[in-house]
Amino acid sequence: MELMEEFAMTTPLAPKTTPLATVFTDVPDPRQQTKNTKHQLTDILVIATCAVLAGAQTWEAIALYGRTKETFFRTFLALPNGIPSHDTFYNVFRALDPDAFATRFGAWMAAACRATGLIPIAIDGKSVRGTKKATATGCLHTVSAWATANRVTLGQVSVPDGSNEIAVMPELLRVLELKGALVTIDAAGCQVENARIIRDREGDYLLTVKGNQPTLLAAVEDVFASACATDFAGVKYDQHATSEKGHGRHDERYVTVIYDPKGIPDVWQGVKAVVQVNRERTVDGKTTHTTHYYLSSYAGAAAMMAGVIRGHWGIENPQPDDWRSNNLCEVGGTGYDRTRGPSGAGRVVRPAPRPRRHPMSDNDPVLGPPVASPSGGDLGATPARAPAATPATPRRPTRPANSDRCAPTTGGAS
């Protein structure tokens, strides 16, 4: 049985996960039930989800995947009138309540991810282009939750016109399954309410601290200043350093974690660590220094925290399947004429394990990369990802010139 088929029936990552065929049974059907309603909503949602997991980029490709795998789908779906047409997929997702879809899919996918241990989840906003008639700004803006290690988008919510990411972020956090997760959020989302929701839902947070929270930033800076003043005497801490060269630059990163920090305002629930990340970047002989601070309810090792922080960049930088979201909203070059249309399209594309990155094919302006033959296989080629640059051997953090970074002069983690 192919991986896609196993994943659809009951994910191999977590054998006790609810079968996908039962996940969408209570999603509200946006269609009026008449004699012309030939396909069950669950069938439409399951086929579309499986097709996107396999690499489908357009409604035509989704329908083609369904026809190719019809024998398989009939083993657990009703399919009273066969596989829906691409127009049916388009019309249903155009009218579908995107939050209802995302909530159920996100919970199912999070359950699968839990089998892999601690789940780093990055929260960040994105704009989906090609939705020119959907909003006043010409694009659909969403806030997404991405399980960075598992390469899975767990869910997303739309940002209404006139609102912002801060306002809708709590809505997303409340519908996610956060038990066993470490949630990373940038400075805009560093809010007391978000920290409280994450802890109440049995998750942990790692929040970027900047000037939009001046009291908190001052408190975190004081923690490190006090530790530096005593050369970290009596301070429980850990450190990690990396040195990397590539693309004409040399980056050195120094991560220091101080555990059980004193002086953090009580409104921040469950604080167990503060993190300082210093980066020295040298390009063409010119070196720049940057310092970033983080607040966390998780007392992880410095190397682990460094990896989670860098993993958050994956959602802030262009994502491997952005071309799929954009393409679905640009088929025919017309965009959608209702807000729910592009939102629904974004939901079926984004809550899916991300494929190996490859650019849009020029072979066909509608279908994009070639799909698999009826004999089986995934939709579209997915070349292996280029290997990441290998970090140089870390050296012990020291006090570099022209930097306010502080590090103990003796000893290691204590």
pLDDT digits (tens, 9 = 90+) for 226-277: 999 999 999 999 999 999 888 888 999 999 999 999 999 999 999 999 999 9
Q: Of the ranges 28-42, 288-302, 383-397, which is most confident?
A: 288-302
pLDDT at site 157: 80
Q: Are 408 and 232 in contact (CB under 8 A)?
A: yes
Whether the CA torsion 318, 323, 328, 332 is positive or negative: it is positive
How far is residue 6 CA from its own chain's centroid? 23
**Distance (Å) of CA 353 to CA 136, 157, 297, 363:** 31, 18, 27, 24
pLDDT over 60 at 321, yes or no: no
Each residue of 210-234: b (16+ CB within 10 Å) or e?
A: eeebeebbebbbebbeebbeeebee
Which tokens belong to 209? 């601290």
pLDDT over 50 at 121, yes or no: yes
Q: How far apart are CA 277 and CA 255, in angstroms?
A: 5
* Higher-pLDDT residue of 55, 301: 301
Residue 209 exposure: Cα atoms within 13 Å on the Cβ side? 25
Region 325-340: mean pLDDT is 35
Whole-number average pLDDT of the chain: 74
Homologous superfamily (CATH) for 103-315: Transposase Inhibitor Protein From Tn5; Chain A, domain 1 (3.90.350.10)
Count of all residues that appear for the chain in the document: 414
Region 389-396: mean pLDDT is 40
Residue 138 exposure: Cα atoms within 13 Å on the Cβ side? 0
Which residues have C-beta within 8 Å of that of residue 239, sequence separation ≥ 6?
A: 254, 255, 256, 257, 302, 397, 407, 412, 413
Region 178-194: mean pLDDT is 93
pLDDT at site 43: 95
List the domain boundaries for the chain.
Answer: 20-96, 103-315
Q: Scanning the structure block, which residue is given the tokens 């996918």?
A: 109
Q: Enter the pTM of the model.
A: 0.63
Residue-wise pLDDT tens digits, 64-82: 999 999 999 999 999 999 9
